[in-house]
Structure 1
Amino acid sequence: MLASHNLLQNFTAGVPDHHCRPRPPANGSTGAIPLLVSIPSDGHRRPQRCRRYVEPQWHLLEVNGTVNGTVNGMVNAATEPCRDGWIYHDGVFAHTIVSEWDLVCESKTLRQVAQSIYMAGILLGSGLFGILSDKFGRRALLSWCYLQLGVTGAGTAAAPTFGLYVLGRFLAGLAMAGVSLNSASLCMEWIPTEARAVVGTINGYCYTLGQFVLAAVAFGLPRWRWLQLVVSLPFFLFFLYSWLFVESARWQVISGRPDLALEGLRKVARVNGRKEEGDKLSEEALRALVRREPPLPGGSLATLLRTPGMRRVSCGVSFVWFSTSFAYYGLAMDLQGFGVDVYLSQLVFGAVDIPAKLASVLAISCVGRRVAQGGSLALAGICILANIGVPTELQMLRMAFAVIGKGSLAASFNCAYIFTGELFPTVIRQTGMGLGGTMARVGGMVAPLVRMAADVTPVLPLVIYGAAPIISAIATCFLPETRNVPLPETVKDVERR
């Protein structure tokens, strides 16, 4: 259900067809003024969205629709902004935040700003919950974030103003980051090395399933408040069953709580039918298996950059996460821009994740994490840049390049979760994952704003979206390979590697 919130504004903030509300009839007349004489036409003979005539142009009702050599109602008459609001047409989108709060014309940027503020919440949450979970544990923070996401998501559905809507989305973004980071770390620290790629890919396919769920629910619930509510309620159920999770034994030992780690491991042994092996475990054995790092001078954040090995890992991970998220949301949040049915586009964009993530797990397991990461980023950048040379009339070809690019970025995300967790040591793994998540949210926050650059030059957003993953693919070459290598427990392990 993470996908349902991340991509929610494709539907809750869809832009319906609209035009200015015509001027009210003069002299108290009750007759409606024809649209043709009230609203100028654009180059496609459709009513302009943001302008209307100052005075009705009655002469446009003449048979040929031509006056003084002007054609199709394109006359040199004075126009003005939509002073009396807009009329929205029922179509693909029946009722969205755009039609409710008039986020069009002069206010159209607020739609992108709302998505950027949501990403800003994930940005702040990535750093905040990364540090807190290294201090208080993975499970407790995960349970809290489930509850926060359910409460704030449902509260957003009842927001009476745009300001409160944005605040609710920001708080949901905070919780979203905590869910992503802590669930990934729990898997990373419980699953054996040889099965980690497969489990990570299964989790990735669950995200893909969420994209299908979003398309289906959005199709059945065209009103944005109901859609917002329905995708938020499941998190209350997730909160309830999260108390069945077992806290990371690695984190408990590193944090000086081997007694709790021993209790959790024996519970796991019973579940797995290995009770006798669990009873043989001891606190001394756990301390020997997982070495504790001495107190980190300056804290865990400073440790990310203190030594040469940690600097290389931190910088490389930052490049990978930023560019993957930046290009991903640049494509995934512009479904209306491809000229294809938005629900079909959502299904296709979700379906491409299936072969993409399968290819990524094969590459991760066979040729290594570094090649899989760099290759998926490079392919995504090439596909995005290729669309620059495709005419806008060839909608299906443009869609094909975008789908391949989006699939490559989904594969990059799949690899990044596994690769990042294996690069950072246990003592600051969650902080390192938080760094990656933070850079991803910076990318996700900037992506909608870059879309506005199309007002300057239509191809400029594609140039920026395509260049970022190619640069990051080069940066990936400087990271160490982690395939079939034990997880590092301390900073010294990273430096030795």
Structure 2
Amino acid sequence: MTEVENGCANGTSTPENKDSDSSGLDSILLRIGQFGKFQIRSYGLIIPPMIFNAYLMCVYIFLTGSVVHRCRVPECDGPNSTYDEPWTEFSIPTMKSSGDLDKCNRFVPYNRSSDMCFADNYDQNSKEGCGIDFIFRDKELYISNDFDIYCLDEWKLSLVGTVSVAGQLVGSPLGGLFSDRFGRRSMVAIGGFTSAVFGIIRSFSPSYYMFLILGFLENVGSGIIYATLFIIGVELVSHRARVLSCSILPMFFSVGEILLAIIAKSVPNWRWILRIGYTPALAHIALIWLLPESVRWLLSRGDEKKAAEVLRNAAKMNKRKVSEATIEKLILENRYKLEKENLTTQFPITKAFKTFPWRIINCSICWFSNVLVYHGLNLNSVLLGGNKYDSFMYLALVEIPAYGLLSLTLNRIGRRFSLFGCLLICGICLGTTIFISKEFYVLQLSLFLVGKMAITISFQCLYFYTSEIFPTNCRNGLLSLCSMFGRIGSMVAPQTVLLAKFNESAPAILFSICALVAGFLALLFPETTDVILPSTVDEAGEIGHKMLDVKDKQGAS
């Protein structure tokens, strides 16, 4: 049997897996079948939570959207006036950057009588605010016009996104600890159910601050869902199918984003957007009884009896046979592995910081930039010209082929140049949109979509890359450190919407610079394609140096 791939990273053999449970377990999974009835049923149960997780993580983009409005002109507007009226040409200023009507100001009239609606009555050099006396363009109800958040108070809209990500920042490490302690299945079921409950309660919020607090609690519960689902999907199959699993499962995250855009477009009411999307998610709790627990987790906890039972059920469902002797051998190997790990476990992160500090710093910068640009593009998609719902949907659609292209890109041109190339393309595309007028909406949107596809590939590539440049004995700790900086990037992303209030090109300029800087920094990483994953800090420090030595010897010969 071939040696085992570590996670989703690659198909290369890794010595660290030889002595692990995966050599025996993967052999059994191959005999049971890669995508038999058991796996299909299990994937069918984890796909809906993945769709819901996308809905939950992105819903605030629409809930906090700034509705299009203008000042009411008392001298001209009546009870039935609409947003577009002929007198707005001389009574409402226009914004130089976009040509749209000013949302918060109107020209000062010389005479405020109701019958003085003509151009000469307005001082074109003097403006005044209009409080909350507005006329709206669309029949939308979001927290902006429900809680009277306009103009100088619009920072409160961006704060919702930051608080939501802060909730995920709190929930992720807690969820990781609980997942290792109580199991993958339980955490997805409880996390999804509690998020749905808080989300439904939030739809009845009578005030902005109640909405904000419930949003934080909701995202504490959701912070564990994506990573745990990803792990469950990977652990369902052997090493031969993990790359495929890693490519397929995230596609349904994009499906969730598309579903969100369709519902928000069909029902532009923030309260019903929450109720429609979150009510079905209450069914998460049923996963405790329907979804089989991860065999790998059961083995890691020493619960061999339940692990053996899951394997027997899987074999029966797939109409395959696995001998009791094979299962018994797996159990014995697992016991040996657990005893060995208990004797040799160490925490060499301090040595890693001394051996390759710049690699860790570089990785943290790349995580921050990737997450900032990825989430920033989703948030700012509603600022593009055209229909904001369609723009968001297009950005979600391009993620699906991006996940499919990922494995081809990684294997053909390597990790380092894949990461560099995708970030470079993203930076150039976003930078080019700065010089394109909104009149050329199709061209602007096309560049935006190419940039989104590139950053999606880059983001997933970074997941793989991070697992390959750090050693086994401190890989999880260093990955958590780098991803923490990514979370900071996702907390900053909602604030980029405020930049557009001062200059509509500012978010694109920021994203372009971040992508380009991270892209060139990616060239400083060592290449890891076809390199055996390092087990120790010393082996990780030698990555790249050994490849140079091999090339030098080949050149000399």
Q: CA RMSD in A?
A: 3.8
Does residue 357 of structure 1 match 2:408?
Answer: no
The one-letter amino acid of 2:104's match is: C
What's the offset of the Cα at 1:455? 4.7
The answer to whether structure 1 residue 86 and structure 2 residue 137 are counterparts is no
Contact 1:123 1:440 (8 Å CA) reproduced: no
Contact kept? 2:433, 2:444, Cα under 8 Å: yes
Matches within 5 A, 1:221-236: 221-236=267-282
In structure 2, give the amino acid aligned to 1:145.
Answer: G
Is the 1:253–1:292 Cα contact (8 Å) retained in structure 2?
no
| 1:210 equivalent in structure 2 | 256
The answer to whether the 8 A contact 1:262-1:281 is kept is no
Supply the AA of the counterpart residue of 1:19. R
1:55/1:383 CA distance change after superposition, 3 Å? closer
Letter in 2 for 1:353: E
The aligned amino acid for 2:188 is L
- 1:37-93 CA distances to partner (integer Å, 9 max, x unpaired)? 9x94113797642235676735896797236xxxxx44345x54334x2334252x5
Shift of 1:332: 1.2
Shift in alpha-carbon separation, 1:168–1:215, aligned structure 2, 3 A: same
Secondary structure of 2:66's counterpart equals coil
1 CA distance for matches of 2:177 and 2:103?
Answer: 47
* Shift, 1:124, TM fit: 2.4
Distance 1:241 1:361, change over 3 A: same
Give the total of aligned pairs: 481
2:119 aligned counterpart, secondary structure: coil
Counterpart residue number, 1:57: 111
Cα distance in 2 for partners of 1:63, 1:227 equals: 40
Answer whether contact 2:414 2:527 (CA < 8 A) is retained: yes
Where 1:158 maps in the other structure, the secondary structure is coil
1:86 aligned partner, one-letter code: D
Q: Which residue, out of 324, 327, 341, partners 1:292?
A: 341
Q: 2:241 aligns to what?
A: 195
Instruction: Report the AA paired with residue 166 of structure 2.
Output: A
Amino acid at match of 1:159: S
Structure 1 residues 81 and 64: CA distance shift in structure 2, 3 A = closer
Match among 184, 195, 200 for residue 230 of structure 2: 184
C-alpha distance after superposition, 1:82-110 (max 9, x if no partner): 34x2334252x511111101121111111
Cα separation, partners in 2 of 1:333 and 1:248, compared to 1, 3 Å: same
Is 1:377 aligned to 2:426, yes or no? Answer: no
Among 120, 124, 127, the alignment partner of 1:66 is 120
Aligned mate of 2:174, from 128, 140, 144: 128
1:5 matched residue in structure 2? 56
Unaligned runs of 5+ residues in structure 1 are: 26-30, 68-72
Task: Measure the CA separation in 1 of the matches of 2:172 and 2:199.
Answer: 18
Give the TM-score normalised by structure 1: 0.82
Q: Is the 8 A contact 2:65 2:157 kept in 1?
A: no
Give the distance between the partners of 1:256 and 1:305, measured in 2 at CA. 31
1:263 positional shift? 4.7
3-state SS in 2 of match to 1:222: coil
Deviation of 1:345 after TM superposition, in Å, equals 1.0
Structure 1 residue 352: Cα displacement: 1.5
1:411 is aligned to: 457
Question: What displacement does 1:178 show?
Answer: 0.3
Q: Which stretch shifts more, 53-62 or 156-165?
A: 53-62
1:170 is matched by which residue type in structure 2? F
SS at match of 1:75: strand
The reply on whether 1:144 has 2:190 as its aligned counterpart is yes
CA deviation after TM superposition for structure 1 residue 407, in Å:
1.1
CA distance in structure 1 between the partners assigned to 2:350 and 2:409 by the alignment: 28
Answer yes or no: is 1:337 the counterpart of 2:386. no
Q: Which residue is equivalent to 2:508?
A: 462
Query: 1-side partners of 2:221 and 2:510: how far apart?
Result: 29
Using the TM superposition, give the Cα deviation of residue 17 of structure 1 relative to its aligned residue in structure 2, in angstroms.
2.3
Deviation, structure 1 residue 489:
7.3
Aligned CA distance change for structure 1 residues 231 and 200 (closer, same or farther; 3 Å): same
Shift in Å at residue 341 of structure 1?
0.9
1:254-269 equivalence runs, <5 A: 254-255=300-301, 261-269=307-315
2:94 corresponds to: 43
2:152 matched residue in structure 1 = 106
Residue aligned with 1:16, SS: coil
Structure 1 residues 265 and 284: CA distance shift in structure 2, 3 A: same
1:157–1:226: 8 Å Cα contact kept in structure 2?
yes
Distance 1:221 1:379, change over 3 A: same
CA distance in 1, matches of 2:63, 2:165: 16
Distance 1:392 1:337, change over 3 A: same
Q: Which residue of the partner structure matches residue 157 of structure 1?
A: 203
Partner of 1:75: 124
Q: Is the 8 A contact 1:196 1:418 kept in 2?
A: no
State whether residues 201 and 414 of structure 1, in contact with CA within 8 Å, keep that contact through their aligned partners in structure 2.
no
Matches of residues 398-477 of structure 1 in structure 2 within 5 Å? 398-421=444-467, 434-477=480-523
**Whole-angstrom CA distance in 1 between matches of 2:128 and 2:240:** 66
User: Any conservation in 1 of the 2:75–2:113 contact (CA below 8 Å)?
Assistant: no
- Distance, in Å, in 1 between the alignment partners of 2:236 and 2:533 is 11
How big is each residue's C-alpha offset from its partner over 1:1-52, in whole Å with a ceiling of 9 and x where there is no partner? 2222222233222222223456699xxxxx9799959x94113797642235
Is the 1:385–1:466 contact (alpha carbons within 8 Å) kept by the matching residues of 2?
yes
1:276 partner letter? S
Instruction: Check whether the contact 2:94–2:102 (CA below 8 A) recurs between aligned residues.
Output: no
Query: Are the counterparts in 1 of residues 473 and 536 from structure 2 also a CA contact under 8 Å?
Result: yes
SS of aligned partner of 1:334: helix
- Secondary structure, counterpart of 2:120 in structure 1: coil
Separation in 1, partners of 2:472, 2:223: 19
Label 1:142 to 1:400 Cα distance change in 2 as closer, same or farther (>3 A). same
What's the offset of the Cα at 1:303?
3.5
Check 1:136–1:468 CA distance in 2 against 1; reply closer, same or farther (3 A cut): farther
Q: 1:346 to 1:383 in 2, by over 3 A?
A: same
Percent identity of paired positions between Structure 1 and Structure 2:
24
Partner of 2:25: none
Please state how far the C-alpha of 1:153 moved relative to its aligned partner.
1.6
Q: Which amino acid aligns with 1:13?
A: T
Q: Verify the 8 A CA contact 1:139 1:247 in the aligned structure 2.
A: yes
Q: In structure 2, how many angstroms separate the alpha carbons of the residues matched to 1:289 and 1:56?
A: 86
Match of 2:322 among 267, 272, 275: 275
Local SS of the residue matching 2:134: strand
Closer/same/farther in 2, CA of residues 435 and 57 from structure 1, 3 Å limit: farther
Instruction: Name the stretch that deviates more: 419-428 or 102-111.
Output: 419-428
Equivalent residue for 1:28? none
Structure 1 residue 361: deviation in Å? 2.5
More moved, 41-50 vs 191-200: 41-50
Alignment check: 8 A CA contact 1:129 1:434 kept: no
Cα deviation, 1:316-358, whole Å, max 9, x if unaligned, reads: 5433332222011221112232111112212211222233222
In 1, the alpha carbon distance for the partners of 2:335 and 2:266 equals 54
The 2-side partners of 1:422 and 1:148 are apart by: 35
